[in-house]
A and B are shown apart, each in its own frame.
Chain A
Amino acid sequence: MSLGRVILLAAIVALVVAAAVGWLLTSGRPSQARVHLSYPEGVAAVVPLGISAGGAPPINVSVANPLDNDAPATAEGKKLFGQFNCVGCHGYQAKGGMGPDLTDREWRYGGTPIEIYKSIYEGRPKGMPAWGNAVPPYSLWELVAYIQSLGGSFAPLPGAPADKSAPPPGGGIPAGQDQ
């Protein structure tokens, strides 16, 4: 065979091989991407949800925000702060208006991450709506992360006193929620 024919034959073979490899690579593989957007294990168990302030068993204020210092979570929290109309009451810079200033060190119902979480989840008597039914825990922690980034909140308090009590029976978490 002449050189030209050899080259032509090689090109045809290469094409066929490439097509076959391509087909093999793309056919029938299930998607590997399965992103879990649920919150880390164990967090819900220590949040005795459903108790409002006053006359209630103390909560474990040493619980940290699992999304603390997480930049994408903070950014998403800021977006949610706008999308859930928080800006309408607390202001576009969270400096207050119809609702309190969230950048200062004054917290009517507590300024540790878990207390802020509970305020958002449960609502509060002077008009703060209860978001817990409609907003999942991950998004609530994103909102808390954003509020923490504003500088007015307090760090979780280490070793809270005499509060090793388990969540009260039937407290807050609807039966059937298994996480």
Chain B
Amino acid sequence: MRRAFLAGALVGLTGCAGEPLGYFDTAGPIASSIANLGIGLTAISVAVCVVVALLLAAAIWRRRGAGDAGIQPVNDRQPIRWILAGVALSTVFLVASAVWTLATVQATLPPAHPGLTVDVAGQEWWWAVKYESSDPSRQFTTANQLVIPVGVPVQVNLTSKDVIHSFWIPKLGGKMDMIPSRTNVTWIEADRAGHYRGQCSEFCGLQHANMAFDVLALSPADFQTWWDRQLQPASAPADDPGLTTFMARCAVCHTVRGTDAGGILGPDLSHFGSRSTIAAGLMPNTPANLSNWIDNTQTIKPGAKMPELHMLAGEVADVTAYLEGLH
């Protein structure tokens, strides 16, 4: 109750009720323990501040009594008692905070047996996501989305292909840097199904602010169904005009499993139609947005590595239809 009250107060104060990046409204055990610690330490700090401020105010406004001029030896114990009381109280609260902090760190250590391992590689300004499995034929790559099963600890191996990025899903866990030529390990767990949002949290260039990703937590059964679906190859006929245009224009940089498109410079677009956002969480995945993105990439996300190819309107329409059809 107290936690909810404090959370509500803070949320109210910051005006971010319902925000996807609101990290006090958590959905997983790691994020909860961190949020609890955060609120707890804030509460303790605020309390201490209030007490000290009151004492300071009292000390400043208390009038000196007449006859107080001149320093006199003081013999009573009153000031010492104040000091000792303050030290004792501070020690208690500091030790409690330290213990709480350590306990939270302990709770956020990667589990010995993750139920799932995912490799995420950050690059300017999108996320390559690879699902690991002991069965090689179940390994596959996707981009800009992380789909996880509810209640299962997920180990995330992080690296970067260019500069330092940072992986953060506020509602599910803390931040972890993604450093080139290095693999950092973090883990997340969702305890209820839902749609969450991740964000790059280390300044990485022009579009750092627009480097986000979708997180979807599904029930374990739904998650398996999703995974099986991801392994299916695309199945448009060879003369589909969207596929033909895609092969001519996009395949050098993008992959769609089941076709000859095998580029790894840009995000893997297999099953693109089932994703919720485009361009690393920048806008909802709708045909209009997709056409706009293809046509006006540099206006929407200036500096993005995807070029504007000045495709004809018909080409854009065909490719949009093709990609949206990849479910």
Determine the distance from Cα of A138 to Cα of B310 in the docked complex, in whole angstroms.
Answer: 13
Q: Assess the A37–B303 pair: CB atoms within 8 A.
A: yes
Determine if A56 is an interface residue (Cβ-Cβ < 8 Å): no
Identify the stretch in B34-42, B90-98, B140-148, B247-255 within 8 Å (CB) of chain A at 4 or more residues. Answer: B247-255
User: Given the complex of chains A and B, what is the CA–CA distance between A34 and B298 in angstroms?
Assistant: 8
Given contacts A4-B60, A5-B60, A37-B303, contact A174 B312 (CB under 8 A): yes
Tally of A interface residues using CB under 8 Å: 25
**Contact mask for chain A residues 1-22; partner B; CB cutoff 8 A; 1 contact, 0 none:** 0001100100000000000000
Q: Complex Cα distance A178/B312, Å? A: 11
**B303-A176 in contact (CB<8A):** no
The majority secondary structure among interface residues of chain A is loop
Q: How many Å from the CB of B296 to the closest CB on chain A?
A: 12
Question: A residues 161-179 with Cβ under 8 Å of B?
Answer: 174-179
- Interface: B54 (CB within 8 A): no
Q: Tell me the chain B residues, 249-296 only, with Cβ under 8 Å from chain A.
A: 249-253, 265
Question: A174 to chain B: which residues have CB within 8 Å?
Answer: 310, 312
Give chain A residues whose Cβ lies under 8 Å from the Cβ of B250: 134
Whether A33 pairs with B310 at a CB distance below 8 angstroms is: no
Chain A contacts for B302, CB-based, 8 A:
31, 33-35
Docked pose: A175 CA to B310 CA in angstroms:
10
Q: Residue B252 contacts which of A31, A33, A135, A179 (CB distance < 8 angstroms)?
A: A135
CB <8 Å contact, B310 and A179: yes
Q: Which residue of B lies closest to A8 (CB)?
A: B60
Whether B252 lies near A176 (C-beta < 8 A) is no
Residue of B nearest to A139 (CB): B307
CB-CB nearest in chain B for A173:
B310
Query: Of the candidates B206, B307, B308, which one forms a contact with A35 in the assembled complex, judged by CB atoms under 8 Å apart?
Result: B206
Which B residues touch A29, using CB under 8 A?
none
Tell me how far the C-beta of A63 lies from the nearest C-beta in chain B, rounded to whole angstroms.
20
Which of B's residues lie within 8 Å of A, judged by CB? 60, 206, 248-253, 265, 298-299, 302-303, 307-310, 312-313
Q: Which residues of A contact B (CB under 8 A)?
A: 4-5, 8, 31, 33-38, 83-84, 131, 133-136, 138-139, 174-179
- Give 9 A-B pairs besides A34-B302, A176-B312 with Cβ atoms closer than 8 angstroms: A5-B60, A33-B303, A84-B252, A133-B248, A134-B249, A135-B307, A136-B307, A176-B310, A179-B310
